């Protein structure tokens, strides 16, 4: 059920991506080892030109890619998204030397990127991060502290790291650094998480960085982080929509074929109404994701609020749709290897990362009241 806003060319491209994901990417994903970077899968994403498209297309194209890949191969979707998340700050704010060295390798899949923002004491509260960038001479620092729950760690080839260069300055004292994985003092530990891709903790023991490693400007790293998240949050929603659509499609087939109580499951009104609700919520989430992405591409006002709404609605919707699909399939959906068993594990994390659902509600409320104050109606 394509959204009305898509052009025929876009709809055809989405169909092509779903076919590529099923026929070329899923077989590689199935050969990957859980908890480790699948470099063969990344290389194929590079050969298909999808990694390069991360940096040559807008937010809507990013959403269409993530939704289409997620429908057939969540592992490919996640591999693509993590390359974009980790390398986008370099693409948007990096120096010529940083971009020239790393972006070609990111786009061909030979270098693995990671976005290192979260910390043990500052998960969704990015302004509270404590990783210290301690002065070590003119335009030199030593990074000391920890990052946690970092996707692609500890196997990434470089990290976009956010560290505090000015103490007690909140969001104004954070700087973004490009830190290659082989820097002395940088070590990592894999974490046993629910996800299929690697997630780890990073330990910084006086890791040296210089002004040549700064991404953007000193003490302006929070802007780099939020700009990246404003782009990627709607596409997290697109990932969720892709999973919801896959669960809905599987449920339609199952309820149309499954014999129950003298007929088919679809003949039971309670089942038909649940399926209708799944479709309604999925399409509503899709449209909000597309609207938020289009607003970003057009430079419309209110992008942070729109991005938060899209991520919130889509991820909560996908959780409901996948859960309902499992219920309607029954015990078979809980067998290891079943599509819905896979989706049930995959769908939970997006409600937490890149800002938990509660954080998104806070952003939405902040944007609403800011608009009221700007109009002078809240004073």
Among candidate residues 341, 354, 358, 377, the one labeled active-site is 354
> Dihedral angle at the C-alpha atoms of 319, 322, 328, 329, nearest 10 degrees?
-140
Residue 163: its H or E element: strand 158-164
Q: What's the angle, vertex CA 293, arms to CA 291 and CA 299, rounded to 5?
A: 100
Q: Following DSSP, what letter does each residue of 110-142 receive, concatenated? A: SS-EEEE--BTTBSS-GGG---EEEE-STTEEE
Q: What is the dihedral of CA 60, 61, 66, 71, to 10 degrees?
A: 100
| Residue 252 burial (10 A CB sphere; 0-12, 13-18, 19+) | middle
Residue 122 phi/psi, 5-degree rounding, is -150, 65
- DSSP classification of residue 356: -
Q: Which secondary-structure segment (H or E) carries 267?
A: none
Residue 119 bears catalytic tag: no
Return the closest-CA partner of residue 126 out of 238, 208, 230, 236. 230
First to last CA, the chain: 45
Instruction: Calculate the CA dihedral of residues 124, 58, 243, 158 and round it to 10 degrees.
Output: -50
Packing angle, helices 59-72 and 221-257, rounded to 10: 40
Q: What is the Cα–Cα distance from 80 to 310, expressed in whole angstroms?
A: 20
Give the Cα separation of 87 and 82 in Å (integer): 8
Active site residues: 354
């Amino acid at each position: 059920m394509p959204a009305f806003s898509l052009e025929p060319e876009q709809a055809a491209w989405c169909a092509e991506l779903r076919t590529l994901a099923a026929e070329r990417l899923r077989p590689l994903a199935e050969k990957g080892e859980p908890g480790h970077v699948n470099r063969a899968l990344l290389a194929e994403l590079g050969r298909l030109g999808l990694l390069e498209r991360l940096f040559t297309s807008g937010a809507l194209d990013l959403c269409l890619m993530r939704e289409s890949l997620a429908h057939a191969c969540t592992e490919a979707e996640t591999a693509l998204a993590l390359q974009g998340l980790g390398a986008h700050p370099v693409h948007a704010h990096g120096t010529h030397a940083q971009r020239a060295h790393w972006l070609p390798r990111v786009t061909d899949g030979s270098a693995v990127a990671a976005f290192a923002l979260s910390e043990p004491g500052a998960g969704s509260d990015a302004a509270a991060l404590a990783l210290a960038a301690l002065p070590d001479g003119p335009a030199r620092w030593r990074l000391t502290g920890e990052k946690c729950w970092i996707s692609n760690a500890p196997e990434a080839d470089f990290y976009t790291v956010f560290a505090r260069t000015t103490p007690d300055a909140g969001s104004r004292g954070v700087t973004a650094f490009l830190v290659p994985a082989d820097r002395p003092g940088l070590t990592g530990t894999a974490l046993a998480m629910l996800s299929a891709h690697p997630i780890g903790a990073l330990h910084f023991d006086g890791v040296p960085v210089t002004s040549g490693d700064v991404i953007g400007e000193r003490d302006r790293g929070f802007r780099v982080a939020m700009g990246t998240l404003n782009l990627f949050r709607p596409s997290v929603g697109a990932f969720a929509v892709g999973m919801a659509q896959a669960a809905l499609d599987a449920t339609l087939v199952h309820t149309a074929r499954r014999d129950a109580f003298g007929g088919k499951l679809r003949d039971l009104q309670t089942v038909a109404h649940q399926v209708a609700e799944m479709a309604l919520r999925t399409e509503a989430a899709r449209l909000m994701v597309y609207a938020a992405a289009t607003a970003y591409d057009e430079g419309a006002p209110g992008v942070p609020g729109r991005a938060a709404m899209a991520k919130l609605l889509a991820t909560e919707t996908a959780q409901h749709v996948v859960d309902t699909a499992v219920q309607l399939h029954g015990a078979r959906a809980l067998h290891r290897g079943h599509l819905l068993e896979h989706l049930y594990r995959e769908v939970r994390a997006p409600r937490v990362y890149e800002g938990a659902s509660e954080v998104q509600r806070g952003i939405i409320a902040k944007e609403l009241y800011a608009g009221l104050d700007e109009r002078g109606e809240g004073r």
